[in-house]
Amino acid sequence: MSLETSYMGLALRNPLVASASPLSQTLDGVKRLADAGVGAVVLYSLFEEQLRRAALEDARLVDAGAESFAESLTYFPPQVEDDAGPRKYLSLLERSVAAVDVPVIGSINGVTPTGWVDYARAMQDAGAAAIELNIYYLPGDPRISGRDVEQRHVDILSRVKDTVSVPVAVKLSPYFSSTGEMALRLDEAGADALVLFNRFLQPDIDAETVAVVPRVTLSTPAEARLPRTWIALLHGRLRASLAATTGVETSVDVAKYLLAGADVVMTATALLRHGPEHAAVLIDGLSDWMARKGFAAVGDLRGMLAVPPGADEVLYERQGYVGALRDANTGIYEH
Residues in the site for ligand FMN, rule: CB under 6 A? 19-22, 44-45, 107, 109, 134, 171, 198-199, 216, 218-219, 245-248, 267-269, 272
Report the b/e string of 213-224 with b at 16+ CB within 10 A.
eeeeeebebebb
Q: Which amino acid is at 143?
A: R
Report the distance separating Cα 245 and Cα 105, nearest Å. Answer: 15
CB atoms within 10 A of CB 297: 13
CB of 15: closest distance to ligand FMN in angstroms?
Answer: 14
Give the whole-angstrom CA distance, residue 280 versus residue 36.
Answer: 5
Output 22 or 77, the one with its CB closest to ligand FMN.
22
Decide whether 192 or 295 has the Cβ nearer to ligand FMN.
Answer: 192
**Shortest CB 219 distance to ligand FMN, Å:** 3
Least Å from the CB of residue 147 to ligand FMN: 24
Q: Which is nearer to ligand FMN, 68 or 220 (CB)?
A: 220
- Beta carbon of residue 312, minimum distance to ligand FMN (angstroms, whole number): 30
Distances (CA, A) of 225 to 122, 242, 245, 319: 36, 15, 11, 16
SS3 annotation, 62-109:
HHHHHCCCHHHHHCCCHHHHHCCCHHHHHHHHHHHHHHCCCCEEEEEE
The residue among 15 and 247 lying less far from ligand FMN, judged by its C-beta, is 247
Residues 248 and 220: their CA atoms lie apart, in Å, by: 8
Q: Is 107 or 179 the residue whose CB approaches ligand FMN more closely?
A: 107
- Least Å from the CB of residue 267 to ligand FMN: 4
Q: How far apart are the first and last CA of the chain?
A: 36
CA 239 to chain CA mean position, Å: 18
Cis amide prior to 197 (ω within 30 degrees): yes
What's the min distance (Å) between Cβ of 216 and ligand FMN? 5
Nearest distance from C-beta of residue 243 to ligand FMN, angstroms: 9
Q: How far is the CB of 279 from ligand FMN (least distance, A)?
A: 12
CB of 60 or CB of 273, closer to ligand FMN: 273
HSE value, Cβ hemisphere, 13 Å, CA-based, for 302? 23
In total, the chain counts a number of residues equal to 335
Burial class of 65 by CB neighbour count within 10 A (0 to 12, 13 to 18, 19+)? middle
Query: Which residues have a Cβ under 8 Å from the Cβ of 215 and sit 6 or more positions away?
Result: 201, 203, 204
Q: Residue 77 Cβ, how far from ligand FMN at the closest point, in Å?
A: 26
Smaller CB separation from ligand FMN, 21 or 50: 21
Nearer to ligand FMN, 136 or 316 (CB): 136
- Identify which of residues 5 and 134 has a Cβ nearer to ligand FMN in the complex: 134
